[in-house]
Amino acid sequence: MRKMERLLQEKETPVSSSASESPKSASKFPALQVSAAAGAGAAGIAFALLLFFFIRRACLRRKKACKIDDAEWPATTELRRYKLEEVEKATKSFSQERLIGSGAFGNVYRGVIHGDRRTLAIKRAHSDSYETVEEFRNEVELLSRIKHKNLVSLVGYCAEAGQRVLLYEYVSNGSLADYITPGKTPLTWQQRLNIAVGSAKGIAHLHGDVNKPGIIHRDIKPSNIMLDHGFEAKISDFGLVRMGPTGDESHVSTQVKGTPGYMDPAYCSTLHLSTSADVYSFGVILLQLVTASAAVDHSRDRTKSHISDWARASIESGRVEEIVDPGLEFEARGMKTMLRMAQLGIRCTAWNPKERPTMAEAAKELEEEGRRAARSARRSSGDFPLESISIDGVGLQRFSVGSCGDMSSIKSASLRCLEVNGSNGGGDGNNLTAVSEDMNMRGG
């Protein structure tokens, strides 16, 4: 037993001795400990200074971006630069009372600049809408070159004290979104066609009627189609515009931006942006003009939640009355026009971008539909325009035939040579009728 105890004591002795020796060995290197602590502290201070330097640099860069010097703006810009004091006075310091719209990139206010004598739509950008001054300047320069009656005109800008403000012409009748939602006074079919034509022309102009390379809007939707006092459409809100492809390129690669329901599925899946993305959005607009339905309605079956999927079967079978806006009172020619608009909308929303028409082609097709509808209206009202006829050497141009009873009802003295009686003229005078409209006489 004692032998066992000695063995255990001998076994424990090295452990206790090593434990007792460790503080002695550690105390042999005090300078090394201090150096390590000092090094860690210095590294922490250096990291903190470096972090402070980068944060300060970013703040200075952002502060510099907020200060836009007049010299940085090219002299070629014909737009007026407004003072912040003028803008604040016109909007009552951007009060809720003057607020008329709000979006992802800023709020829009209505105001009258002192001395301007016209009401303007004043868009104040959110603080994070532009990362650099160059972005804001580029947008101003781009919009200053866009001139078309179906595009809202940029009147001027304000860049002062960190504020970035764009001033547009004010469009009095609100946006299309105000007229194609339940509970609103419905538009007539003629107004819907006219809005479609104007919108198509405006977008086609952006895509390259004049501008080369073309400009892609990226956010065509009802709230961005403004209506003036005559219900003429004007495309607005150019916060997402992007220059289109140049040369032989078919697209530009960019991150997806836009409004769900109006974004091109091909663009969303490939990140390849082209003018066909706007064509898709316009197709959705056409379907909404016909049906007054939402672009996406989750109350419908999941496979038909999007308006193009929901309406396609009725349109392709020619049964537009199944989906047409119930607020419309149709004549036959109105129904035909709505069907043709809907058919164009389905082609514009084709899944394959190559199967869609261009905006110029869509505008041309809608204009032709407008002329066809006008001819139909004249025919149904008894107005038959003739190119020209000649009777006994008397040349006549453009007169209409209606029911007037007898020849005494003809107002124009020039037509007295056409008076006929039953005894000598080879016809019954009571049956000869005419209405003078826009007539030019050529003597023979």
- Over 70: is that where the pLDDT of 268 sits? yes
Query: Catalytic residue at 406?
Result: no
* 376 or 26, greater pLDDT: 376
Calculate the average pLDDT of the chain: 77
Report pLDDT digits (tens) over 336-349: 999 999 999 999 99
pLDDT reported for residue 365: 97
Is the domain spanning 71-169 CATH 3.40.718.10? The answer is no
Domain spans in the chain, listed from the N-terminal domain onward? 71-169, 176-380, 389-442
pLDDT reported for residue 106: 85
Cis preceding-peptide flag for 213 (omega within 30 of 0): yes
**71-169 matches 176-380 in fold:** no
290: CB partners within 8 A, 6+ apart? 192, 311, 320, 323, 324, 325, 338, 341, 342, 345
Q: Which residues are annotated as a binding site for ATP?
A: 123
Report pLDDT digits (tens) over 90-117: 999 999 999 998 877 789 999 999 888 8
Q: What is the CATH number of domain 176-380?
A: 1.10.510.10
- Of the candidates 70, 116, 219, 248, the residue annotated as catalytic is 219
- Over 50: is that where the pLDDT of 290 sits? yes
| pTM given for the model | 0.70
CA distances from 142 to 154, 210, 212, 252, 365 (A): 10, 13, 12, 18, 29
Q: Which residues are annotated as a binding site?
A: 123
